[in-house]
Amino acid sequence: MTQLADRVVTDSADIARLTRLIEDLADEARVCLVLIDGSRRLGVVTARPSLQTFLDPSGREGINAVLRVDDPKIEGGTCYLWLDEIIEVRPIPCDRRDFARPAPGMRVAPR
């Protein structure tokens, strides 16, 4: 069943760009996403998105994907983004993740 999307891509170069983005969006990856409007979104990829066929508002058939990102700092904790809105995926290394470090004042047992 075809669903509606705000935008779809049909050009092979645009589809290849979306495919490369998906390669950087592994399940449970902590990422910083740079969006087309210049904003950034931090979060955890809940599941790697997959390209799907959609119809745009004018009825043109093309390709896009929906990415679900969990971020406890936003209302509701989850946001959904169209893949074509993402310019860049920047992985956040484990040592920079808030949950990878002990909270201030927390004692860590020696190994």
Residue type (1 letter), 38? G
| Other beta carbons less than 10 A from residue 81's beta carbon | 17
| Residue 65 · residue 50 · CB < 8 Å | yes
CA distance 73 to 108: 25
pTM of the model: 0.79
For the segment 7-43, what is each residue's pLDDT rounded down to a tens digit?
Answer: 999 999 999 999 999 999 999 999 999 999 999 999 9
CA pair distance 37, 53, nearest whole angstrom: 24
Q: In terms of DSSP H, where are the helices of the chain?
A: 12-23
3-state secondary structure of 19: helix
The rounded percent of the chain whose pLDDT value lies above 90 is: 75
